[in-house]
Amino acid sequence: MRRSLLTLALLTVACAAPGPPPADFEIRYLRTPSDYSVSVPFEITIGASGQMVVDPYPGPQRGEVIDDQVARADVERLWSLARRADLFREDPTYLTEEDGCREVWANHGTATVELTADGETHTARHYLGCRGGGEIEDLWHLEETIELLARIPERRQQWEIQAAIEAKAAEEGETGESRVIRVD
């Protein structure tokens, strides 16, 4: 009896472990500006092989796209976190109280996580002012991990300085001439 319970427990743990991600695994993370933390939108894409692309200013006003690589263990960690955040149910959305937010704070950006695995794509939309709820915490953890792997905290300051320089140049009617602008 004890042996069968131990076997059942081991099988349960083995089945719960996510294992390596499928070959077509890809996670795409898009973050929009916020009054409080991020003033530059960005997009991060990480594939099963660990290939990572970081794109500040995604869309027509593209910034300098950064190609990078993350470790296989980090890809497996993202796969595990995506499963924990339950991204496989019908496109989870956390935008209002009706979506499970205990509180909704104003003037925050949004995050979109798009996960492709086993031929299916699932998208989670998340208003970053949404506070509370277990699934939301798991999604926050996944988003934070993606940002850390892409070194967003380090790159954010550089992007914001560049955005300030470009805004100042546009304000003064600059046309392609380089000059040093002091940013305080």
Answer whether CATH 3.30.530 is correct for domain 17-171. no
pLDDT value for 38: 60
Radius of gyration of the chain (CA): 20
Instruction: Output 48 or 179, whichever has higher pLDDT.
Output: 48
Instruction: Output 176 or 159, whichever has higher pLDDT.
Output: 159
- Angle of CA points 147, 95, 121, to nearest 5°: 60
114-162 pLDDT, tens digit per residue, is 999 999 998 888 888 887 766 678 888 999 999 999 998 888 777 777 7
User: Could you give the residue ranges of the DSSP H alpha helices within 65-150?
Assistant: 72-84, 134-149
Instruction: Output 22 or 90, whichever has higher pLDDT.
Output: 22
85-110 pLDDT, tens digit per residue, is 877 776 667 777 777 777 888 778 88
pLDDT value for 182: 47
- Res. 62: pLDDT tops 70: no
**Most trustworthy range by pLDDT among 1-5, 35-39, 170-174:** 170-174
pLDDT value for 172: 81
CA gap 90, 112 in Å, rounded: 14
Work out whether the CA dihedral 79, 83, 88, 90 comes out positive or negative: negative
User: Does the predicted model carry a pTM greater than 0.75?
Assistant: no
When pLDDT is averaged across residues 26-42 and rounded to a whole number, the result is 80
